[in-house]
């Protein structure tokens, strides 16, 4: 091999090495991307595609479905009803920011008489209720009430720290004027240091056999850190059965609370 050929081969080798390095610098980052929760791949600590592990979204196959214990319509005045669905989220560290639902109503002959749709949030771990007020039924009487979610839930993981921080409790429950215009009063307290906006509070009353007598709802614009407040629920007409037990459920969207 003469000197000229060796020189040509050297130049070719330099050019090949140069473009090889450039290609490596372009391709390597694409082949070794840091896993993210939006790359449409199961990687990193994920338990599924872009869900579980360190991702905000929980994997749908790793959460239990919401269970509906019962749904009922309660007369407020003739022709107007409140609808309530009592549910349970058995998932300790997952919640839903927003999900659409539907109540459907039928008369004693199971003939459809109407519906009410809306949206709600689902708190992590425990019993909660969905309340729809003042539904006009006209001359119909809703005997059968069904409740269903109308879309696939998007489950979001909630940190254990946030769940442990946000504690709201009910005390001093008292029911008066049962035979005339019943009033249920109680005290609600935010035991955390953080403001909780838009607190819904639902009261459910039971008879001696555990059947639901009636339900009502009240609302607080916000509950400041360590704040206590008096709440009241009222009914226009007396109950048809004696109330033995009272359950008051405070509900708020955990994703609307900022720990800062």
**142-181 pLDDT per residue, tens:** 999 999 999 999 999 999 999 999 999 999 999 999 989 9
What is the rounded average pLDDT of the residues 47-57? 85
Residue 8: pLDDT over 70: no
| Domain assignment of residue 36, yes or no | no
Task: Compute the distance between CA of residue 44 and CA of residue 223 in angstroms, rounded to an integer.
Answer: 39
Task: Compute the distance between CA of residue 180 and CA of residue 22 in angstroms, rounded to an integer.
Answer: 86
Q: Is 4 exposed, middle or buried (0-12, 13-18, 19+ CB in 10 A)?
A: exposed
| Domain assignment of residue 73, yes or no | yes
Residue 117: pLDDT over 60: yes
Contact 242, 208 (CB under 8 A): yes
In total, how many domains does the chain have? 2
Question: Residue 192: its pLDDT value, please?
Answer: 95
Residue 220: pLDDT over 90: yes
| Whether residue 227 is found in the same domain as residue 183 | yes
Question: What are the CA-CA distances from residue 193 to residues 167, 250, 252, 259 (Å)?
Answer: 10, 17, 16, 9
Contact 257, 197 (CB under 8 A): yes
Residue 26: pLDDT over 70: no
What is the rounded average pLDDT of the residues 130-138? 96
Share of the chain above pLDDT 90, in %: 73
Contact 204, 129 (CB under 8 A): yes
| Whether residue 248 is found in the same domain as residue 193 | yes
Q: Which CATH number is 135's domain given?
A: 2.60.40.3230
Residue 7: pLDDT over 90: no
pLDDT band for position 120 (cuts 50, 70, 90): very high
| Whether residue 165 is found in the same domain as residue 256 | yes
Residue 18: pLDDT over 90: no
Residue 11: pLDDT over 80: no
What is the rounded average pLDDT of the residues 241-254? 96
| Domain assignment of residue 238, yes or no | yes
| Domain assignment of residue 41, yes or no | no
| Whether residue 138 is found in the same domain as residue 182 | no
Show which of 103, 133, 158 is a domain's final residue.
Answer: 158
Task: Compute the distance between CA of residue 53 and CA of residue 51 in angstroms, rounded to an integer.
Answer: 7
Residue 222: pLDDT over 60: yes
What is the rounded average pLDDT of the residues 8-32? 58
**Mean pLDDT across the chain, nearest whole number?**
89
pTM higher than the cut 0.75: yes
Range of the domain at 130: 66-158
Show which of 158, 176, 197 is a domain's final residue.
Answer: 158
Question: Residue 204: its pLDDT value, please?
Answer: 98
Residue 24: pLDDT over 60: no
What is the rounded average pLDDT of the residues 226-252? 95
Question: Residue 95: its pLDDT value, please?
Answer: 97
| Whether residue 181 is found in the same domain as residue 147 | no
Show which of 158, 179, 212 is a domain's final residue.
Answer: 158
């Amino acid at each position: 091999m003469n000197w000229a050929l060796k020189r040509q081969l050297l130049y070719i080798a330099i050019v090949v090495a140069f473009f090889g390095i450039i290609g490596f610098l372009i391709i390597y980052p694409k082949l070794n991307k840091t896993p993210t929760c939006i790359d449409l791949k199961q990687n990193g600590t994920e338990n599924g595609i872009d869900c579980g592990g360190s991702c905000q979204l929980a994997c749908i196959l790793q959460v239990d479905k919401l269970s509906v214990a019962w749904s009922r319509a309660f007369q407020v005045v003739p022709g107007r009803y409140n609808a309530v669905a009592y549910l349970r989220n058995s998932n300790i560290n997952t919640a839903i920011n927003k999900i659409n639902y539907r109540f459907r109503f039928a008369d004693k002959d199971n003939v459809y008489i109407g519906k009410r749709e809306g949206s709600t949030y689902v708190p992590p771990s425990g019993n909660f209720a969905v309340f729809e007020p003042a539904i006009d039924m006209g001359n119909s009487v809703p005997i059968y009430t069904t409740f269903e979610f109308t879309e696939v839930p998007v489950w979001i993981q909630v940190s254990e720290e946030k769940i442990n921080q946000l504690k709201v409790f009910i005390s001093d429950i008292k029911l008066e004027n049962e035979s005339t215009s019943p009033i249920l009063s109680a005290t609600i307290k935010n035991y955390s240091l953080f403001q909780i906006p838009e607190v819904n509070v639902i009261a459910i009353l039971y008879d001696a056999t555990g059947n639901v007598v009636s339900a009502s709802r009240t609302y607080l614009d916000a509950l400041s850190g360590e704040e206590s407040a008096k709440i009241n629920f009222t009914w226009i007409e007396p109950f048809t059965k004696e109330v033995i037990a009272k359950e008051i459920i405070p509900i708020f969207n955990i994703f609307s609370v900022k720990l800062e």
